[in-house]
Structure 1
Amino acid sequence: MLDGFVLDAALAGVFGLLVGSFLNVVIYRFPKMLERQWAAEAADFTGQPVAETDTFNLVTPRSRCRQCGHQIRWYENIPVLSYLVLRGKCSQCGTRIGMRYPVVELVTAALFALCGWRFGFTLHAAAWAAFAALLICQFLIDFDTQILPDDLNYTLLWLGLLASAVGFTGVALVSAVWGAALGYLVFWVIFQLFKLATGKEGMGYGDFKLLAALGAWFGAEYLLAIVLLSSIVGAVLGIVLLVVGKIANKDIPMPFGPYLAGAGMLCFVLGPAAVPDLLPFAFPFGSH
């Protein structure tokens, strides 16, 4: 039986490497696709001619070096391995390739392997793997652009409700629905109170939707724990960014989405059953 779980985890991990490579494309291209869409909609609304642009989506054009335009060959795009063989540089111009690419691939592989280990090579594992992949995208897209795309938030939300309905999350459907509703409402109320008190907007509507999606996956009982864990994730991430010099200007706002996404992934990695033991005060009415 143990060998079976190891094999499932290994297969899921390999598949995760491939998915991680694709997630790098999504993280970079999806915000740019949204910007093009918004520009076209704005031009249409104002009656301005829509500028002709080349096709740009998750498939076209093929990946290229951003510095010299070298088209990435298939053997230069093998997850992790190609990065190591190329020593982290473009084969044509020698421009450094960001460490993020192999890191995303490895993190995705690790989370997929965890799904395979826990649930086997099953639809149950696939559901949680999709959960992990969507959170990785939301974490980095929001970190880069301060945008939490609705397409990804809604996909995560509906998958959570469907996963609850078929028993993949261990959360009763009624709790999942209340988790989604209250997750949105809690942040909406905080947003409105903060705006009344300061005249400023303290967070974006994407944060409401992301917490709603996490509520659908873990249930209403876990909302307080997720918010508390997001604060811990934010503190750790802030310290790391300060240490590596990524935060030079304290006036630059930090998005909250990565903290929420990180908290969701932490709940999954620890296992929902372990979270009440870690944060017992966050569950005054017990957990599912």
Structure 2
Amino acid sequence: MNNELWGWWLSPAVLGVLGACIGSFLNVVIHRLPLMLERQWKRDSAEMLGQPVPEDAGEPLSLSRPRSRCPHCGHQIRWHENIPVLGWLMLKGRCSSCQARISPRYPLVELLTAALFAATAWKLGPQPVALLWCAAIAVLVALTFIDWDTTLLPDDLTLPLLWAGLVVAGLGWTIPLSSALWGAVGGYLSLWGVYWLFKLTTGKEGMGYGDFKLLAALGAWLGPAMLLPILVGASVIGTVVGVVMKASGALREGRYVPFGPFLAGAGIAVFLIGPDAVLAWLGWY
């Protein structure tokens, strides 16, 4: 493929449209993957305990089946109603059958993914590696909203993201493999150490193992030098959000704000700003 075709296919406009379509699929992943995992855990637990395996309530569930439908009336979403962003706008945020409200988060996820894909294309230019970063960002967007909804960072997403970071580094498409490897090791061990220090000091668990794996994945993609900026940025923003939610009553007693969304957001920000610019801002470059 010549440079002109690469320039068109990998332009911010085209990747932005692709991002909106991927964002529509991410809405499905965000909603269904935790439900699929819950069903699987129940089946696995029953088998381990020697109990009857529970039958799944309703029809089989996967990322492709059944087709999207209104949760209130069961109306199957038509193809034109499922067009990213535009479908929601044409429906005016209401089901065409029962007029039940459709959450504005659906088009917001699509717009966010579109904006991040376009920003990736703008930053990297017409290079195939832009597609790799778009794929990584799509996984981070899904992890952000799943963790926010459920305080769960599924291995089904964090581990492939980690291994993909190591593989693409090994193929010479991103950072050197040694940097990816030590970024993954440093990312995991840093939060693992914080976890055990907090637990030995307070007797409580301050975070889940999914956070270790997510930071390890970010380290594999961005390298060990970016771990501290990611942690600092995630901690500051997470603290501010937690304080605001607590003051406004949005955070109930005994609940906590998941850390994963802020790790993912800080990782994306570091990538888009650029490691060199981040190090220069910190005075390390």
TM-score (normalizing by structure 2): 0.91
AA matched with 1:249: R
Q: Which moved more, 1:157-166 or 1:128-137?
A: 157-166
User: 3-state SS of the aligned residue for 2:142?
Assistant: helix
- Deviation of residue 222 (structure 1)? 1.2
Unpaired stretches in structure 1, ≥5 consecutive residues = none
Q: Which moved more, 1:57-66 or 1:7-16?
A: 7-16
CA contact (8 A) 2:153 2:210 kept: yes
- Inter-CA distance 164–240: structure 2 relative to 1 (3 Å threshold): farther
Q: What do the CA deviations read for 1:79-127 (whole angstroms, capped 9, x no partner)? A: 0001101011111111111111001101111111122223345430111
User: 3-state SS of the aligned residue for 2:44?
Assistant: helix
- Deviation of residue 240 (structure 1)? 6.2
CA contact (8 A) 1:177 1:216 kept: yes
Q: What do the CA deviations read for 1:207-266 (whole angstroms, capped 9, x no partner)? A: 0001111111111111111100111331454366568x5724253111111111111111
- 2:83 is matched with 78
CA distance in 2, matches of 1:118, 1:80: 24
AA matched with 1:207: D
- Deviation of residue 42 (structure 1)? 0.7
AA matched with 1:175: S
CA contact (8 A) 2:246 2:252 kept: no
TM-score (normalizing by structure 1): 0.90
- Inter-CA distance 106–246: structure 2 relative to 1 (3 Å threshold): farther
Matched, 1:19 2:22: yes
- 1:113 is matched with 118
- 2:105 is matched with 100
AA matched with 2:96: S
- Of 156, 167, 177, the residue aligned with 1:162 is 167
CA distance in 2, matches of 1:277, 1:134: 28
Q: What do the CA deviations read for 1:121-161 (whole angstroms, capped 9, x no partner)? A: 54301110011101101111000001000111111111111
- Inter-CA distance 246–135: structure 2 relative to 1 (3 Å threshold): farther
- Inter-CA distance 270–65: structure 2 relative to 1 (3 Å threshold): same
Q: What is the identity percentage for the equivalent residue pairs of Structure 1 and Structure 2? A: 53
- 2:282 is matched with 279
Q: What do the CA deviations read for 1:10-69 (whole angstroms, capped 9, x no partner)? A: 111111111000000000000001000000001111122222222101001111111111
- Of 32, 42, 56, the residue aligned with 2:45 is 42
Unpaired stretches in structure 2, ≥5 consecutive residues = none
Q: How many residues align?
A: 280
> What do you get for the CA RMSD once the two structures are aligned?
2.2
- 2:233 is matched with 229
- 2:151 is matched with 146
User: 3-state SS of the aligned residue for 1:136?
Assistant: helix
AA matched with 1:181: V
AA matched with 2:39: R
Q: After TM superposition, which residue ranges in structure 1, 4 or more long, deviate above 6 angstroms?
A: none
- Inter-CA distance 270–5: structure 2 relative to 1 (3 Å threshold): farther
Matched, 1:193 2:197: yes
